Structure 1
Amino acid sequence: MKVGVVTFPGSLDDVDARRAVSIGGNEAVPLWHGDDDLRGVDAVVLPGGFSYGDYLRCGAISRFAPVMTSVIEAAGKGMPVLGICNGFQILCESHLLPGALIRNDHRKFVCRDQRLRIERVDTPWTSAYAAGAEVTIVLKNGEGGFVADEATLDLLEGEGRVVARYLDGNPNGSLRDIAGISNERGNVVGLMPHPEHAVEDLTGPGTDGLGFFTSLAEHAFA
């Protein structure tokens, strides 16, 4: 599959995301924030970083980038979209996902290997995992606390839209230990930890994040 990876001003992990896409067996296509042409891609990754300097709120300016008009439209038609860290924040600001990401409850930036439980495996981004799989991937954020009102949280839980949950302690105050969620259809996934940093033994805590990228190939031929 052709997977577009968007670069915003301030993106840090776009190169890593493109490499992970390639290692996962897909073709990585660079996309620019100021261009509304998705270049015929089959899926999109919004990478981590500090897009537009995180001014106003994390992801608040990126939501209005020309490329996001096309991403929002394509997501509405079923295109797989993965938002990682800052990309998750952008998805929430774009209302492709509910809730918001706020400053960590301990008011400190966290950077560590983080254990997760994968809970939703019927998405284009998680089908390579078994339900309940426990994985370790990198977490690095200062504003990673997922919040939503109780009705929204209950809806996410009731519809099985919690994609991943933190294990071994909550690193940022996310309600109900939520590390990632999806939209109802499952094609849009937001994840605070960074699977692109866990696709090679040499450069990360292992390869537990690779499934987020190999899942696309399974989805394409399902």
Structure 2
Amino acid sequence: MTSGPGGGSIQLRDARVRYGPLEALHGVTLAAPARAVTVLLGPNGSGRTTALRALAGTVRLAAGSVVWDGADVTRHTAHARAAAGLRFVPDRQAVFAGLTVAENLQLSTSKRDLSAALDPYPELRPLLARRAGTLSGGEQRMLAVSRALLAPARVVLLDEPTQGMAPPVATRTYALLRTLDACVVLAEQRLPPGLRGTQGGTPDAAPVFVYELDRGTVAFRGEATETPTTSPARE
């Protein structure tokens, strides 16, 4: 798989997002460094998915800004951010269900050789002719992740990327994400074991930083090794 060149940090600054009369983010500020993995933790309703969508540009900010590599991109559309190298894997509808696995992958690259996407997920090789909508949930997540990383990526945003994957495949996925030359941001309910310290990674694996969100505000920020053992994300 390909990534980079390292895409600089991406940040939310005093971000507020509203869905009708309800405010989902209450002035959230967070920064995801380049060549690192940043995990947004929290239970459903905490704002982690909304924060990820705000970075991707799929929801609009009511106030605040999105800053990418020092430039304000708040007014840039999701399409413009994607064209600049931002890859977003949402928690739902992340693949084109009516297209085959091969067709899904070919949408992300002009190359005919798909080995860069299939080598990390050999489970997809015998499924290339299958329509994506017939795959299991874990297989669809493998396809979604491989699609996102097939083309060069500067920033990679993933909402629960390993949902439905078998544990060994999930471990492989987190190890892969820690080797990317990119800014990687994940939304997770709990901190995966593969993102604690060097477990599941290599000695030169990217550092992991954590923001825990609680009802649209930042409750904790720090390195993964500093994450409290009791928190809203682990109740």
TM-score strictly above 0.5: no
- Give the structure-2-normalised TM-score: 0.32
